Structure 1
Amino acid sequence: MPRFHVPGPLTPDADLALPPGAARHVQVLRLQPGAQITLFNGEGGECLATVTAMGRSDVRVRLGEHQAIEREPLRPVQLATGVMASDRMDWLVEKATELGAAALTPVLTERCALRLSGERAQKKRAHWQAVATAACEQSGRNRLLDVREQLTFQELLNTAGSAGGTRWLLSLDAAAPRLHTLAAALAPDEPVTLLSGPEGGLSPAEEAAARASGFAPVHLGPRVLRAETAPLAALAVLLTSG
């Protein structure tokens, strides 16, 4: 059944005009009055809705009962990742959403290929949030991945401690403990913050600063993974039971 994100309250038995993006999608699917769809607002749960009217540019639905369905993993995982080239960031946001990450913070590091500021940074954040929303629609998640405001590397280190839980740095240091070994010893609901670099990784100075700030290095194995692959591999280890 098609799923659509609709911001705002979803009140049972209410008559609702779908927002433009969802309405266009319903029209592209050629759904007709009487067709059923699923709506969620990103705050938890979902509800069935029945298409009642199709206009040239608008679609109206009648909402059914709210269903308190959750598909979130027990463990909240926040990704803090160096900003990568646009296509790689899009891929990471989409797949991190599907795997169940709770939040993603883009971080400006020394080796970032894409450097954004001001209005451009805000537009890119809105774009990534839209990518995450579409991935929620596809994957069945009823809570949105929170794409947070871009931080400098130092800002991240200054604020990371307030998140609580375990903090790990994805490292190429072969002497670092293996992630899957440490993850097996965590409580199922232990929050985790993962720090990962952009293309080329974190600089030696950045890695040293992260360690000094409480990020423990972890290793993913003998192969060198791309910047967009490493955090996804870590998420798969941390969230496979969720």
Structure 2
Amino acid sequence: MGGAHSLGHRVLFAPPPWPEGGRLRLSAEESRHAGRALRLGPGDPLTLVDGDGRRGRGVIERWRGSRLEVRLDEAVESEAEPGPATALALPLLRAPARTDWVVEKATELGVRALRLFAPARGVRRAGQASAARRRRWEELARAAMKQSGRCWCPRISLHASLGEALGEPRAGERILAADPRGVGPQEWPRDARAATLLLLVVGPEGGWSPAEEALLREREALGVRLGPHRLRSETAAVALCALAAARAD
């Protein structure tokens, strides 16, 4: 029944920790997706990812109520990704659907953390993001992880300000901010590839406040120009993520 699907498309999510003994149960949601969307059942092979860098191959053994039980035949403890770990600091956008789109595309492009923050000139506060919206972002990230062949799922966090999203300075950190006055992509800094954390920052729709601009200067953020045209925040975010992914490859 599952023979029409390639194994590459039979990717399901099973959160850590994976139990010893080689057997685990998928969540009711993943089991429903496997049975209805992928048309998988007992005897079908699949790939499992845990969102923390682990990938495994297994076979569906049986249904137990509304959940599938899987025999894990092979697992890779930790799968590295090329280049430095990448985080994206993104202001909360006016339309939730635009943030949804960034979550999906940033995951496909290899981002390991997504830090959503309330800008000084924004129209939303971090606390206004509902629990349902947060769950949707996490679901979108997991789906994009599986679709793109990754086994790392970005951690999504909410912050009250740009400063909170940037956090304390870390050794090996490099901050790159989308800026129409910045350097061109061909001038991508040499030390960016050697960084342990590449923090990508995109400005809000209303522009940075003087205090936010001063903070970026204090943190020695490098402005990167993304072309000759004015971009929406979500477009700039995806363009910056794509540029970082291409440079890391």
Instruction: Give the TM-score normalised by the residue count of structure 2.
Output: 0.84
Q: How does 1:83-122 map to 2 (within 5 A)?
A: 83-84=92-93, 85-117=95-127, 120-122=129-131
Query: Residues of 2 paired with 1:151 and 1:122: CA distance?
Result: 16
Q: CA deviation at 1:93?
A: 0.8
Percent identity over the alignment is 33
Which residue is equivalent to 2:193? 188
In structure 1, the residue corresponding to 2:233 is in which secondary structure? coil
- Which amino acid in 2 is paired with 1:21? E
* CA pair 32-123 structure 1, distance change in 2 beyond 3 A: closer
Q: CA deviation at 1:106?
A: 0.5
- Which amino acid in 2 is paired with 1:188? R
Which residue is equivalent to 2:230? 224
Please, which of 170, 178, 189 is the counterpart of residue 178 of structure 2?
170
In structure 2, the residue corresponding to 1:62 is in which secondary structure? strand
* CA pair 180-126 structure 1, distance change in 2 beyond 3 A: farther
Query: Residues of 2 paired with 1:10 and 1:213: CA distance?
Result: 39
- Which amino acid in 2 is paired with 1:41? D
Which residue is equivalent to 2:146? 137
Q: CA deviation at 1:216?
A: 2.9
Q: RMSD between aligned alpha carbons?
A: 2.4
* CA pair 82-194 structure 1, distance change in 2 beyond 3 A: same
Query: Residues of 1 paired with 2:63 and 2:34: CA distance?
Result: 9
Q: CA deviation at 1:165?
A: 1.5
Which residue is equivalent to 1:209? 215
Query: Residues of 2 paired with 1:187 and 1:170: CA distance?
Result: 15
Which residue is equivalent to 1:80? 89
Ranges in structure 2 where 5+ consecutive residues have no aligned partner: 1-6
Query: Residues of 1 paired with 2:71 and 2:191: CA distance?
Result: 44
How many corresponding residue pairs?
A: 237
2:118–2:159 contact (8 Å) kept in structure 1: yes
2:45 pairs with 1:40 = no
Instruction: Give the TM-score normalised by the residue count of structure 1.
Output: 0.86
Which residue is equivalent to 2:26? 18
Q: CA deviation at 1:56?
A: 5.5
Which residue is equivalent to 1:3? 11
- Which amino acid in 1 is paired with 2:89? A
In structure 2, the residue corresponding to 1:229 is in which secondary structure? helix
Q: CA deviation at 1:114?
A: 3.5
